[in-house]
Amino acid sequence: MCDSNNVDKPLNLSYLEKISGTNTKFIITTIDLFNSHVPKLMEEIEDAIALQNWDKIAFLVHKMKTSFGYLGREDIIEDLLEIEQFALTKVGVANIVFCFGHVKASINKLSAQLIHYKNQLAN
C-alpha cells in the first residue's frame, strides 16, 4: 500500500527536458501549469474524501495522474492508481485517507522542488 519512502525522491526532469528540447520557457510554463492546476485538484479530492464521494475521488485522481509522468514521478502515479482502485471498489475511506496523505506529502515536496528548479532556470 502507498509507499511513504517516495516523499523525498530527488527531482528528475529528464523526460520533460527531453520532450521540450531543453526549452526553458516550455519547462517554466509546464511547472507553472502544474503548480496552479494540481493544488486545486488536491483540494477537490480532499472535499470528495470528506463526503465519501467515491465516483468523484476516482474521477479526480484519474485526471491528476497525467500530471506526473513528464515530471519523473511514476511513484505518485502508482499511488494515485491505488487510490482510484480503492474508490472504484469502495474499499473504505481509511485506505484512501492513508494513501492520499502520502500522495499529498509527495506532491508538496515535488512542488517545492519544482519552484526551486524554476528559480534556478530564471537566474
Residue ranges, the chain, pLDDT below 70: 1, 3-6
pTM, to two decimals: 0.89
> Going by C-beta distance under 8 Å and a sequence separation of 6 or more, which residues neighbour residue 64?
38, 41, 42, 45, 80
Distance between CA atoms of 31 and 17, rounded to whole angstroms?
A: 12
Domains of the chain: 12-122 (1.20.120)
Element (H, E) at 4: none
At 113, list the grid cell. 522542488
